[in-house]
Amino acid sequence: MREIVLDTETTGLNPADGHRLLEIGAVEIVSQCATGKVFHTLINPERDVPEDAARVHGHTADILKDKPLFASVVDEFIAFIGDARLVIHNAEFDLGFLNAELERAGRQLIGVERVVDTLALARRKHPGQPNSLDALCDRYRIDRSRRVKHGALLDAEILVDVYLELTGGRQRSLSFESDADKVVTVGAFPSLRIEPRPTRVSLLEAEEAVAHTEHVRTLGDAAIWIRYAGGQTAASPTALASM
């Protein structure tokens, strides 16, 4: 299954207040394994960036003024996500901004039915506990040392690891053997051939063999040599040599 783990950065908290998108980061995963394909862009929000927001992500209006408008990158973004399921932490926030930009650009909005909210997953799995991205990284021992400031692509990459922990994908990926590797196919190995035991040549002289036979006869019917000789009262030199 193809999924896109996604994060955004914005100028504020609510698009209804005129705040805009300024960064998108997205990571492709297939069957819960990162493929190496990513989408990342900074965006000119066409407005100022409040100081409190800039402290969170480090992007100022001066930095963003030469970046592309959302309308310039929307086709590339839509092509990248395709019809894949989107994995987002606190999806209501990011989806609100994405749909506001898509509506402004005259494009189809993203439905909530194709979104997995990892915040909702975490709340179900860890009720009553902190479930921010930082808290989940600490809980699952995921390295977040690079997260000095928020960044859409960095946060999406971290969210991949968090998502795998929340869904059990990390444990599954620890197995280095596929199910196919564990199956032993009948007939995969050549049949064992039991070679007939070679006939041994007697090293006894004829006189020695006769003397031994006479001796065995004196031991009685219960003698072990009688059993080894196949119940014969007189063993031939060849029979004696095969014992």
Question: Which active-site residues does the annotation give?
Answer: 150
Taking CA atoms, 112 is separated from 78, 171, 206, 239, in Å, by 16, 28, 99, 88
Cβ atoms of 85 and 4 within 8 Å: the answer is yes
Q: Is 180 exposed, middle or buried (0-12, 13-18, 19+ CB in 10 A)?
A: exposed
In this structure, what token pair is assigned to residue 229?
């000789």
Taking CA atoms, 17 is separated from 13, 96, 100, 110, 116, in Å, by 8, 12, 11, 20, 26
What 3-state class would DSSP assign to 186?
Answer: coil
Residue 18: Cβ within 10 Å count = 11
**N- to C-terminal Cα distance for the chain?**
68
Q: What is the number of H-type helices and E-type strands within the chain? A: 12, 5
Phi and psi torsions of 114, nearest 5°: -105, 15
